[in-house]
Chain A
Amino acid sequence: MGHKSQSQAYSVAVKVNEQMGTKKGYTFIQSNRAWLPKFLVLWVLVMAFLSMLIYQGMDADNKVRRKDVLTSMCDQRARMLQDQFNVSVNHVHALAILVSTFHYYKTPSAIDQETFAEYTARTAFERPLLSGVAYAQRVIDSQRENFEKQHKWTIKTMEREPSPVRDEYAPVIFSQETVSYIESLDMMSGEEDRENILRARATGKAVLTRPFRLLGSHHLGVVLTFPVYKSKLPPWPTVEERIEATAGYLGGAFDVESLVENLLGQLAGNQAILVNVYDVTNSSDPLIMYGHQNQDGDDSLWHESKLDFGDPVRKHQMICRYHQKSPTSWTAITTAFLFFVIGLLVGYILYGAAIHIVKVEDDFHEMQELKVRAEAADVAKSQFLATVSHEIRTPMNGILGMLALLLDTDLSSLQRDYAQTAQACGKALIALINEVLDRAKIEARKLELEAVPFDVRSILDDVLSLFSEKSRNKGLELAVFVSDKVPDIVLGDPGRFRQIITNLVGNSVKFTERGHIFVKVHLAERSKAMMDVKDESFLNGGSDEGVHISGACKLKTLSGFEAADERNSWDTFKNLIATEEIRPNVSIINMMTSHEGSEDVTLMICVEDTGIGIPYSAQDRIFMPFVQADSSTSRHYGGTGIGLSISKCLVELMRGQIKFVSRPDVGSTFSFTVVFGRCDRNSMKKSISEALPSGFRGLKAVVVDGKPVRAEVTQYHLKRLGITVEVAGSIKKAAAMCGKNGSTISSRNKIQPDLILVEKDSWISGEDGGSDIRLLVGQQNGHVLKLPKLILLATNISNDELIKAKAGGFADTVIMKPLRASMIAACLQQVLSAGKKRQHGKDVPNGSSFFQSLLCGKKILVVDDNLVNRRVAAGALKKFGANVECVASGKAALEMLNLPHSFDACFMDIQMPEMDGFEATRQIRQMESKANEQTMNGGSTVDGIAKKGDEWHLPILAMTADVIHATYDECLKCGMDGYVTKPFEEENLYQAVAKFFKSKPVVSDS
């Protein structure tokens, strides 16, 4: 056992694990939980990177704009400078032409220093870039003396010293006033000037010096030199020709520094940018013309603009830079920073959410696991309970068995008392364990309902018989009524159904001290419809009959006590029966048709009692296990309170509902519905239906009862036995009924009752009318040959009453209630055979003997190939006094039954080798019909032997192990008269045999 429970526990554990496994449907977030911080870091990095990109993008925009501005400014400055420069150069050019025109081509010269100075001064506005212009004449060394004489000064070097002897001189002869200090200075003596001059006269174009510090101002500047030719040059003059033709040089000094400064001053944005002008003729060593080489500025960004000053040899360029470094772009920084912050926040929020999700999911999984565990524990608990209960039962059975044995032994009264107490306790314990086991089974979902055909009525009878003793002791009226509409046989779980009823009735019996307990069974649809009818009947006031009949009756319930649920009172009940009786055939047909299709039949069962009721406060929890209405209840009445909860579970398992109406001190009515399967009426009826003897069919009875409900119950039981029943409200009425019929035998509706059943109450109350009922009935029936049997129905009866009753004429019998069909049958049997006894002087005390009498002396043939079966069947039949012969095969049977024979019946196995039961029967029937024909034809050989004078027909009963319908059909088809199931059972045998023998011996003998 321990092993078993271990394995169960193991299986539970496995189940739990499986469930866990399947339920581990982690989400994406959950499954990547370890990565969450990494995701966060990654996110932050990405955000930072994106912010950088944004910053750089915005910054690059700024730079481009700045650069564009610089470029345009630089280009603008360069262009202006270049333009102005060119204008000046052009003007100098013009001056050169002026000098050549008026100094050399005119003789004498039209220009002297004065003229030149004045002219240049007046045209100075044309040359804004030039600090001054001067004209130097080309003087060859040979002409120096003449020249010096003519100008009355000596040629001086730049250092203002008399020029040493050279090949050539270029002394300044005309000069603008601004540069008058260079007059007489030999231009060839200055390095830059000399180079300039040589280049100028060779090319014939304006040439520029590299920048140098000018004389006088000491500003950086360049000197512009134009050659002046004294004669017109040939169209494509060579360099020599040019040199030859050179007369002098016109030069001008560009004070670049001041001039550029001046120029820039005129332009907007001057402060912002830094301009440098370079001479880049020698690209490796740019010479600065303007600006400070080392001036602070934004070295990161600069722009170069080319300057063309008209001298192809010299190259110049302007470089512009910003004074200040580009200002940090706060917009870009803030934008990027804000973006980063937002990104950070979003990331953090997402992270937080993810963490939260993970946490919630973790919690969820944990809860789920706990739930599964709890459920498993619950199931395990139920399983454990079921197992343990089961295990307890076995030893308990042993204990009870031993106690039973002990009680059989010789014990002193004290010992007996102890043992009996122990046994009672043990039984109570077993009952409790069974209940717990049921409960646990239901909880463990292990309880499976059977679906077998059973007879509702016999179940109810059984339950009733269970409580008859108790109810009788308490003086309770206990009755059951099953509506005619309820099918005889239904498909369901009889055991569980019985359990529910037993529980409810048991409770009722336990809690009821007076009044009645009434079990009613209807079809649910029908009783529902009745509820509606009820109202109408109230309106019509059509229920006065009952009051008339039973004057003493306070309320029209079974016992006259008030019941909790008024719906179950006589009014409804009567309607219920009335509608059933009005057109029984039609309604049955209707029902048949309406229910033919449906598989199920819903029964409504009410258990009504007039007990202590359930307190209102407790009514909502009485279906809870181990809860009783009141804790004091269990002290008074005992019990665990588990029964109702089990009943509820069972009812629900049977697809029904249970409910109750209860009023304290009035009573409770529990009603529940159950759904049963419909069962094929013909197939199972015979085998399952309780063996109610059918010998009373056709008898007539009068029931004398003042209470209609009770009378109806009596009628119900009698009807089941096939007895026609008339109800009379009182003895007088009954007497009148019988008397009328008795005196006028020839009248049309003559009722000649075989039985008169009188309720004790009616008898006692009606006593004043006729103390000797037998006399009363007998008087009127005096000349009728057959006296009706008088039977008293009583719940409880005292000895005095009994004597009185006997004296009063109820000599036949007293039937103690609760009524049950089988019990009534037994009593009637007794009464009727008692009648016979007087006739025959032979005692037939009980049913078994009755059965014996049926078979006694009968000659029976048993045909079975199986030795053991044959022997058992023979034994069973012999026991009842039959004269049994056995054969082992169909063929042998045929031989035995060769006409004429003396057998009264034949039990035939169906499945036999060579010739089976069907075939044998067929052949027997053939033989019989042949013989019968011969008899009919008159001249028969077997005529003399035919005992009974009528046709040959040997009752042949099949013996079969399977009880399926098809077999039964086939039995009938091949001429058999019935069948008994193997293995033999007494009742079964009785039932089958009774059909053939009963009528004959009883009727024919009497």
Chain B
Amino acid sequence: MDRSHPQHQVLHMRRSLFDQGYIDKEQFIQLEELQDDANPNFAEEIVTLFYTDSARLIQNIEQILVNRPIDFARLDDILHQFKGSSSSIGAKKVKEACTQLREYCCAENAEGCTRTLQLVKQEYAVLKRKLETYFQASISLYL
């Protein structure tokens, strides 16, 4: 495969995002289809929104987990939001991690929550990195 060609590179990146399960293909395509001339960077905009939102949510979660006793109800609320926004952009792995974390939250397992939070953060970080490179590359295409 010729990776030198920037267009191919982007397409390959995009496919690997789907293939490796980071992103739900259908959902993401759906998102991309919402882009039109009036709103050309809709997907990226949404994803950026997702970054800020997620960063805030993760911070909140961390705070909750630091405090004792843990406010599991509030944690659940936050997780619900996190899950919602993840599934909106099709962040499959982050969503799965969230679901897992939420299960621990339901079981009020503080230790499990803390552990899984690391997973969530990790998945989030990976996804963010990948998406950022992807968008960067795709923007450079249009330039």
Contact = CB atoms under 8 A, between A and B. Distances in A.
Interface of A: 398, 401-402, 405, 864-869, 871-872, 875-876, 878-879, 909, 911, 913, 961, 982-986
Contact of B33 (A871, A878, A986): A986
Contacts of B30: 876, 983-986
Contacts of A878: 38-39
Contact of B34 (A868, A875, A913): A875
Contacts of B46: 868, 871-872, 875
12 contacts: A405-B8, A405-B11, A867-B49, A867-B53, A868-B49, A868-B85, A869-B85, A869-B88, A875-B39, A876-B34, A982-B84, A983-B30
B1 interface: yes
Interface stretch (B75-83, B101-109, B111-119, B127-135): B75-83
A984 B90 CA distance: 11
Contacts of B15: 401
Contacts of B36: 879
Nearest to A876: B34
B87 A961 contact: yes
Nearest to B26: A985
Interface string B11-33: 10001000000000011001101
A868 B50 contact: yes
A679 B134 CA distance: 43
Contacts of A865: 81
B7 to A, nearest CB: 8
A461 B111 CA distance: 51
A402 B84 contact: no
A840 B38 CA distance: 27
A866 B8 contact: no
Contacts of A402: 1
A336 B38 CA distance: 119
A866 B85 contact: yes
A865 B57 CA distance: 13
A872 B81 contact: no
A966 B70 CA distance: 30
From B1, B31, B88, B89, name the one whose CB has the most chain A CB atoms within 10 angstroms: B88
A868 B53 CA distance: 7
A990 to B, nearest CB: 13
Main secondary structure of the interface of B (DSSP, over half): helix
Given A398-B1, A983-B27, A984-B30, A872 B88 contact: yes
Which size bracket describes the interface of B in this complex? 20 to 34
B84 A868 contact: yes
In the complex, the 7 A-B pairs of residues with the closest C-beta atoms, listed nearest first: A868-B85, A866-B84, A875-B34, A869-B88, A872-B88, A868-B50, A867-B53
A871 B45 CA distance: 9
Contacts of B27: 983
A982 B85 CA distance: 10
Nearest to B27: A983
Nearest to A868: B85
Given A401-B15, A867-B49, A878-B39, A913 B84 contact: no
A872 B39 contact: no
A868 B1 contact: no
A913 B77 contact: yes
A496 to B, nearest CB: 21
Nearest to A960: B84
Contact of B49 (A401, A871, A983): A871
From A909, A911, A986, name the one whose CB has the most chain B CB atoms within 10 angstroms: A911
Contact of A866 (B26, B34, B38, B88): B88
Main secondary structure of the interface of A (DSSP, over half): helix
Given A401-B11, A867-B52, A876-B30, 19 more contacts: A398-B1, A405-B8, A405-B11, A864-B84, A866-B81, A867-B85, A869-B85, A872-B46, A872-B88, A875-B34, A875-B42, A878-B39, A879-B34, A961-B84, A982-B87, A983-B30, A983-B88, A985-B30, A986-B33
A318 to B, nearest CB: 114
Contacts of A871: 45-46, 49
Contact of B80 (A872, A911, A985): A911
A689 B15 CA distance: 30
A717 B83 CA distance: 41
Contacts of B52: 867
Contacts of A911: 80
A267 B108 CA distance: 121
Contacts of A984: 30, 88
Interface in B55-104: 77, 80-81, 83-85, 87-90
Contacts of A872: 31, 34, 46, 88-89
Contact of A983 (B53, B77, B81, B90): B90
A983 B45 contact: no
Contacts of B88: 866, 868-869, 872, 982-984
A864 B88 CA distance: 12
A982 to B, nearest CB: 7
A868 B89 contact: yes
Given A871-B45, A875-B42, A879-B34, A961 B83 contact: yes
A65 to B, nearest CB: 98
Contacts of A909: 84
A866 B31 contact: no
Contacts of A876: 30, 34
Contacts of A868: 46, 49-50, 53, 84-85, 88-89
A869 B34 contact: no
A961 B24 CA distance: 15
A909 B53 CA distance: 17
Contacts of B26: 985
A872 B28 CA distance: 11
A151 B27 CA distance: 175
Nearest to B11: A405
A865 to B, nearest CB: 6
A19 B87 CA distance: 46
A985 B31 CA distance: 9
Contacts of B42: 875
A828 to B, nearest CB: 26
A892 B42 CA distance: 25
A497 B77 CA distance: 40
A79 B45 CA distance: 146
A836 B77 CA distance: 50
Nearest to B47: A868
Contacts of B53: 866-868
A762 to B, nearest CB: 43
Nearest to B91: A868
A864 B84 CA distance: 10
Nearest to A959: B84
A872 B83 CA distance: 14
A88 B74 CA distance: 144
B99 to A, nearest CB: 11
Contacts of B80: 911
Contacts of B8: 405
Contacts of B83: 961
A864 B90 CA distance: 17
Contacts of B45: 871
A911 B46 CA distance: 21
Contacts of B11: 401, 405
Contacts of A401: 11, 15
A872 B39 CA distance: 12
A869 B30 CA distance: 13
Contacts of B39: 875, 878-879
Contacts of B87: 961, 982-983
Contacts of B33: 879, 986
A416 B92 CA distance: 37
A663 B78 CA distance: 66
A401 B15 CA distance: 10
A818 to B, nearest CB: 27
A980 B46 CA distance: 20
From B15, B38, B85, name the one whose CB has the most chain A CB atoms within 10 angstroms: B85
A986 B27 CA distance: 11
A287 B62 CA distance: 132
Contacts of A913: 77
